[in-house]
Amino acid sequence: MSEPVSTAPGATFSPTPWSVVLRARSDSLDRPAALEKLCTAYWLPIYGYLRRRGRAPADAEDLTQGFFAYLLDSDFLDRPDPAKGRFRGYLLGALRHFLSDHFERTSAQKRGGQVRFVEWTTPDAERQFVALDQPQLDPADAYETGWALTLLARALHRLEEEQSAAGRARHFTVLKPFLSATPGRGDYDDAARELTTTRANVAVWIHRLNHRYAELVQLEVAATVQDPAEVKSEMQHLLQALRR
C-alpha cells in the first residue's frame, strides 16, 4: 500500500497582498513590515519589467528597491481599494507612476541618501531574469510572466513546507522535478529505487503532489483578487502568461 502524500489542508498561509496593505493602513507601525513582505514576494515581476524597459541589471535592481522604498514613504498604503481591481494590476500601475514621477525627482539621490531602501534578500536577480527572459516580450508581458512565475514559486514553496512538516522532505526532493517536467523512460523506476519503494507508489505520490500543487496555485491566485468569482479568469490569465 502506498504511503499518503500529506496535503495539510489546514496549513496556514501568509496574509494576502491586499490584507497586508489594508491592515497596514490602520497602523503606521505595520508599514515597514508590510512593504518588506510585498517586496520579498513580488520583486521578480518588477525587476523583469524594468529589465525589459532596457535598464541595466544594476540599475534595475536599484530601481526595484527604490520602488518599494517609494511605496514605503508614499501614501500607497492609504490609497488602494481592493474593489477596483486585481493586485497585479494595481502594483504595475504604482510602478508606472513611480517611474514617471517619483524617480525623476529622486534620480540624483544615491543609495544611502534620503531614500530608505527596504531590506530584502533574493537570489541573484539577474540570473533568475535571464532564466525566464524572452527577448520578444514587451515590458508589460514580461511583468505578467514574472507575476505568473512568482505565484507558481510561492505555491511550490508552500508544498515543500507541507511535505517537510509531514516528515517527507526527502521524498519531495526526489519527486519535485516531476512537477515541472514530463518524466522520461525509466525516471519513475530510478525514483523508486532511490526511495526504496515501488514504481506504482512513485506514480501515486506524484499524482497526489500534482493535485495539491494545483490547489495551492489556485489559493495563491485567489489571494490576489478581491472577488472569488475572479479566480477562474485569473487562473486562465496566469496560464496564458506562461505560454508566451
Q: Please report whether residue 2 resides in a domain.
A: no
125 and 141 housed in the same domain: no
The predicted structure's pLDDT at residue 100: 84
Among residues 133, 157, 181, the one where a domain terminates is: 133
The answer to whether residue 1 sits within a structural domain is: no
Claim to verify: residue 78 and residue 189 sit in the same structural domain: no
Do 127 and 63 fall into the same domain? yes
Same domain, 63 and 129: yes
Residues 28 and 78 in one domain: yes
What is the structure's pLDDT at 86? 80
Q: What is the mean pLDDT of residues 13-24?
A: 67
Q: So what's the pLDDT on residue 234?
A: 86
Q: Convert the pLDDT of each residue in 28-57 to its tens digit.
A: 677 777 777 777 778 889 998 998 888 888
Residue 5: its pLDDT value, please? 52
Q: Binning pLDDT at 50, 70 and 90, where does residue 108 land? A: very low
Contacts of 117 (CB under 8 A, 6+ apart): 65, 66, 68, 69, 111
Task: Kindly list the distances between the CA atom of residue 106 and the CA atoms of 112, 116, 157, 174, in Å, as whole numbers in the listed order.
Answer: 12, 12, 36, 48
Q: Which three cell numbers stand for residue 90?
A: 494595481
What band does 128 get if pLDDT is binned at 50, 70 and 90? low
In this predicted structure, the answer to whether residue 104 has a pLDDT above a threshold of 50 is yes
Q: What is the pLDDT of residues 51-93, one digit of tens each?
A: 888 888 888 888 888 888 777 777 776 676 666 668 888 888 8
**Residues of the domain holding 127:** 13-133
Q: What's the pLDDT score for residue 7? A: 47
Final residue before a domain boundary, out of 105, 133, 161: 133
The number of folded domains in the chain is 2
Ranked by mean pLDDT, the top range of 94-103, 132-141, 173-182, 224-233 is 173-182
Task: Find the mean pLDDT for residues 131-151.
Answer: 80
Same domain, 51 and 90: yes
208 belongs to a structural domain: yes
Does 63 or 212 have the greater pLDDT score?
212
Do 157 and 106 have their domain in common? Answer: no
Q: Would you state the pLDDT for residue 102?
A: 58
Residue 196 and residue 185 in contact, taking contact as beta carbons nearer than 8 Å: no
Contact (Cβ atoms closer than 8 angstroms) between residue 52 and residue 138: yes
**pLDDT at residue 113, rounded to an integer:** 44
Is residue 7 domain-resident?
Answer: no
Residue 181 included in any domain: yes
Model confidence, pTM: 0.74
Q: Is residue 177 part of a domain?
A: yes
What is the distance between the alpha carbons of residues 61 and 126, in angstroms, rounded to a whole number?
Answer: 9
Q: Within this chain, do residues 114 and 154 fall inside the same structural domain, yes or no? A: no
C-alpha 125/C-alpha 173 separation (Å) is: 24
Q: Are 152 and 239 in contact (CB under 8 A)?
A: no
- pLDDT tens per residue across span 146-200: 888 888 988 999 999 999 999 999 999 999 999 988 888 899 999 999 999 999 9
Boundary (domain end) residue, out of 108, 133, 158: 133
